[in-house]
Amino acid sequence: MVDVNKLREKAREVISREDVRELIGYRPGTYGFRARPAFVMGPDDTGELIFTPACVNNLASYIVLEEKLPVKRGEEPDLRKVAVMVKGCDSRALVQQMEEKAYDRDRILVLGIPCRGVVDMAKVQAKYPDVLEMGEIALEGDKFVLSFNGTKEEVPREELVADKCLRCRYPTPLVYDELLDEEVERFADDDFADVAELEKRAADDKWAYWEEKFSRCIRCYSCRNVCPMCYCEDCVLDRLQPQWMRRSVDISENTAYHISRAYHLAGRCIQCGECQRVCPVDIPLMELNRKFYKDVEDLYDYEPGTNVENPPLLSTFKVEDKEDFIM
């Protein structure tokens, strides 16, 4: 577990650098066990920074979510670096963004945080619905220790940990300028058993399953907005002339939306699971993304977001690429 004082000290040092404009980390939330993104603009803002298993957000999203206003006449664009704290899974988003040449490597300063797992906040909320005053979560061995209202409770890791952490292949960030803690060795693997289960189901079954889920969608686009790989400057969803996708909310448009998004993420989704985490109506979007992930791995032996030198899968051709699935 990264030491909080060391973390703040490092943040202070980084944000004091002349070539760093902003540091994105985590700070305690406003209720319960929440933590939230923190935007540090100067050394005095570092006192609140934390890293705990409550730090679920993938901060790599903010690198591409940044709003660039037109530079006023006579002003120079601010080209200083943005420093960002990333867990292993989150770091893969940075790698993939850079594989796609979304920005130059020297635009960001990466503070890597080796991680043994974060909580699924929905599970925490369900178990402790009445906790309002800020509580804290720590991971000690194979238990989460939750401190709140002057008491401490231990909960087995499996009970509250996010699903993605149970099959985490990259607990230590794959890209970083500085690592804030000891490296964590790979402690789990992903066999995609859940995807294999889904594949086995009959088409009608699958349709009924997804129809129920997609019919709940309210098209708030939180899945798109939170996604570190959804950074098109001009998203097809927002286009009115021509309107590629209708705004009307019904099962047909909702399905088209989610299938389009899943296709756009094929070979790109790095499995941070943010889309599914933020969905207010619990659509299991990662099941779609994981199906593509598995296919890409099986067909091309390619894992997105693992090597900055890799060219993006779907914009490259290799003679040894499989063709047997092409009709």
Binding residues for another protein (CB under 8 A): 29-32, 34-37, 39, 57, 61-62, 65, 67, 69, 129-132, 212-213, 215-216, 218-222, 224-226, 238, 240, 243, 246-250, 274, 277-278, 280-282
Q: In what order do the strands lie in the sheet with 35-40?
A: 35-40, 20-28, 81-86, 108-112, 178-179
Minimum separation from the CB atom of position 164 to another protein (A): 16
CB closer to another protein out of 29 and 312: 29
Minimum separation from the CB atom of position 289 to another protein (A): 17
Minimum separation from the CB atom of position 38 to another protein (A): 8
What backbone phi and psi angles, to 5 degrees, belong to 13? -65, -45
Beta bridge partners of 136: 147
CA atoms within 13 A on the CB side of 112: 22
Minimum separation from the CB atom of position 250 to another protein (A): 7
Cα separation, 237 vs 221, whole angstroms: 9
CB closer to another protein out of 65 and 188: 65
CB closer to another protein out of 31 and 207: 31
CB closer to another protein out of 96 and 254: 254
Q: What is the 3-state secondary structure (H, E, C) of the chain?
A: CCCHHHHHHHHHHHHCCCCEEEEEEEEECCCCCCEEEEEECCHHHHHHCECCCCCCCCCHHHHHHCCCCCCCCCCCCCCCEEEEEECHHHHHHHHHHHHCCCCCHHHEEEEECCCCCCECHHHHHHHCCCCCCCCEEEEECCEEEEEECCEEEEEEHHHHECHHHHCCCCCCCCCCCEECCCCCCCCCCCCCHHHHHHHHCCHHHHHHHHHHHHHHCCCCCHHHHHCCCCCCCCCHHHCCCCCCCCCCCCHHHHHHHHHHHHHHCCCCCCCCCHHHHHCCCCCCHHHHHHHHHHHHHHHHCCCCCCCCCCCCHHHCCCCCCCCCCCC
Minimum separation from the CB atom of position 121 to another protein (A): 10
CB closer to another protein out of 40 and 195: 40
CB closer to another protein out of 77 and 129: 129
CB closer to another protein out of 178 and 212: 212
CB closer to another protein out of 30 and 315: 30
Minimum separation from the CB atom of position 125 to another protein (A): 8
Minimum separation from the CB atom of position 176 to another protein (A): 22
Minimum separation from the CB atom of position 286 to another protein (A): 15
